Amino acid sequence: MSGPILQEKALKFRNKLNEANFEAVQLFRNKLHKSLDKENLTGSQIFNCDETGVNYKMLPDKTLASKAEKAAPGYKRSKERVTILACSNATANLKMKLSMIDIFKEWFFNEFVPQTEKFLSANNLTRIALLLLDNATCHPNEDEFQDQDIKAMFLPPNVTSLCQRMDQGTLETLKRNYCRNLLSSLINAMDKGEDMLE
């Protein structure tokens, strides 16, 4: 399948589902561009974050057998899950450490603001930054996320799939890389003679 075929099929699905609010996207873009022009922000000063669930012990559908076993025993896939937060600026020259989500407001003031200040200072940028995030019901009001000129702006409802960077493959790539590294560490442990379950 080629890109144009996929794009055409996506348009058909969009017309059938019509879940995304394209008018809201355009209104938000206008609001965002006015804010960016007013503050004269660069891509290094515009951030996006999003939460995702990670089943951190889940192995692939195929069963793995260690060298000592004649056959692979059946196993139940682990569904132990944590919620993590990924955050990066638009130029991707500041990718913050992944955080396990507890209280978002604490993360904003204790992690995001200090790391952003340090980054802006090290790169001779004005202490102004904008964090774009979805308007999940678990987030407090937008007004509560402001530390002088470092502040947050919520995306309108039903538009994150269209204009939220983290939803456009970043989180999915993160999960795939995590899974690949988990499998790699298991294979390395088995090669050293360690029990896979351990």
Cα separation, 150 vs 158, whole angstroms:
25
Scored b (16 or more CB within 10 A) or e, 11-47 reads: eeeeeeeeeeeeebbeebeeebeeeeeebebeebbbb
Flag whether 101 is in a domain.
yes
Predicted confidence (pLDDT) per residue in 8-28, tens digit: 777 777 666 666 667 777 888
Cα separation, 108 vs 101, whole angstroms:
11
Number of domains in the chain: 1
Q: What confidence score (pLDDT) does residue 174 get?
A: 83
Residue 116 pLDDT level (bands cut at 50, 70, 90): very high
Q: What is the DSSP letter of 107?
A: H
Q: Residue 9 is part of a domain; what is its CATH number?
A: 3.30.420
Flag whether 117 is in a domain.
yes
Give the type of residue at 70.
K
Give the type of residue at 82.
V
The rounded mean pLDDT for the chain is 78
Q: What confidence score (pLDDT) does residue 128 get?
A: 93
Predicted confidence (pLDDT) per residue in 36-64, tens digit: 888 888 889 988 888 888 777 776 665 55
pTM for the structure as a whole: 0.64
Comparing 124 with 11, which gets the higher pLDDT? 124
Q: What confidence score (pLDDT) does residue 121 get?
A: 94
Domain that residue 57 falls in:
3-191
Mean pLDDT of 80-108: 84
Flag whether 197 is in a domain.
no
Flag whether 78 is in a domain.
yes
Flag whether 164 is in a domain.
yes
Flag whether 163 is in a domain.
yes
Locus of tokens 């952003």: 116
Q: What confidence score (pLDDT) does residue 183 get?
A: 82
Q: What confidence score (pLDDT) does residue 71 get?
A: 47
Got the DSSP string for 26-81?
HHHHHHHHHHHHHHT--GGGEEEEEEEEEETTPPPSSPP--TT-SSPPP-PPP--E
Flag whether 136 is in a domain.
yes
Q: What confidence score (pLDDT) does residue 63 get?
A: 53
Flag whether 26 is in a domain.
yes
Q: How many helices (H) and strands (E) does the chain have?
A: 6, 6
